[in-house]
Structure 1
Amino acid sequence: MQNDAPRPPLPPFTEETAREKVRLAEDGWNGRDPDKVALAYTPNSKWRNRAEFPQGRKEIAEFLTRKWNKELDYRLVKELWAFKGNRIAVRYAYEYHDDSGNWFRAYGNENWEFDGNGYMAHRYASINELPIREEDRKFRWPLGRRPDDHPGLSDLDL
């Protein structure tokens, strides 16, 4: 697959365009469509995600399929941490439950590097996870895109 068209916003990022890029990534992941999400990455994109190192859109889509088949009712919030040129750093938290109904919240940081057309070429994720009680969940919007008026990570003290 080739990157036929630019995927705005494009680097070099401003604070406004970096925030937009972060929100677009969050929206995509909350949509939980592995093939669609994989299109945001370069055809040869390289990842580090826990103990997995997917490369390329096909492996990324396969990874996301496995992830969202295991992490049920997945809801994610991302927040811009820093940016410069074609790189963005984010922090994030997501909640999900397993097939036994046990809830978890994962916290992490990601470093992203984009090509000139706005596709992510590198994604390096560091993630920590802990069990939570259902009543301690903070992300309770209907599945899909986080509503614009839902608090972000800083607002939730996460």
Structure 2
Amino acid sequence: MSRPPLPPFTEDSAREKVRLAEDGWNSRNAAKVTLAYTRDSQWRNRAEFPTGHAEIEAFLTRKWNRELDYRLIKQLWTFGGNRIAVRYAYEYHDDSGQWFRAYGNENWEFDADGLMARRFASINEHPITQAERKFHWPLGRRPDDHPGLDDLGL
């Protein structure tokens, strides 16, 4: 299975890959998102180290069951060959109604078919009030005219 755009990445194709990843994660569809990764993909996400489709799908399912009304913005940081680095922020609330904003960086490595083989994430988060939220679009894909991270001062 091929997942364009394929490496080696240009600036345009790397930006497209980042936006496609953002769109996928904003769908909160764990089964669909998992298809963007190799069958033996290796992750580091905080203190969890899922490997392979089953573990990644289980991780994402737990995440989106816990992180309610999740909205994410990713931004290309740099790229080269078959690797892309991004920075991102996302907002969500827990089941008590407390809102959070998380900030992070990811390093991605792709196979020749454009599937992500390795994902290393570093994430920090803090509580915010509902009034401090900056991501105000209906659940799902971020509209093209919604500000990005730089525009929002993040």
Same fold (TM over 0.5): yes
Matched, 1:37 2:33: yes
Q: Secondary structure at the match of 2:69?
A: strand
Task: Give how far 1:102 is off.
Answer: 0.1
The gaps in structure 2 that reach 5 residues or longer are none
- Whichever residue aligns with residue 53 of structure 1, its letter is F
Q: Secondary structure at the match of 2:104?
A: strand
Q: Secondary structure at the match of 1:65?
A: helix
Give the structure 2 partner of residue 80 of structure 1. 76
In 2, Cα distance between equivalents of 1:38 and 1:58: 8
The gaps in structure 1 that reach 5 residues or longer are none
- Whichever residue aligns with residue 9 of structure 2, its letter is F
TM-score, normalization by structure 2? 1.00
In 1, Cα distance between equivalents of 2:150 and 2:107: 19
In 2, Cα distance between equivalents of 1:39 and 1:8: 12
Per-residue CA deviations over 1:89-146 (Å, capped at 9, x if unaligned) read 0000000000000000000000000000000000000000000000100001000000
Which of residues 9, 12, 19 in structure 2 aligns to 1:16? 12
Give the structure 1 partner of residue 142 of structure 2. 146
In 1, Cα distance between equivalents of 2:54 and 2:9: 27
Matched, 1:116 2:108: no
Task: Give how far 1:6 is off.
Answer: 1.2
Per-residue CA deviations over 1:62-98 (Å, capped at 9, x if unaligned) read 0000000000000000000000000000000000000
Matched, 1:98 2:108: no
- Whichever residue aligns with residue 22 of structure 1, its letter is V
- Whichever residue aligns with residue 12 of structure 2, its letter is E
- Whichever residue aligns with residue 24 of structure 1, its letter is L
Which of residues 2, 6, 11 in structure 2 aligns to 1:6? 2
Task: Give how far 1:149 is off.
Answer: 0.1
In 2, Cα distance between equivalents of 1:100 and 1:7: 38
RMSD over aligned CA atoms reads 0.3
Give the structure 2 partner of residue 26 of structure 1. 22
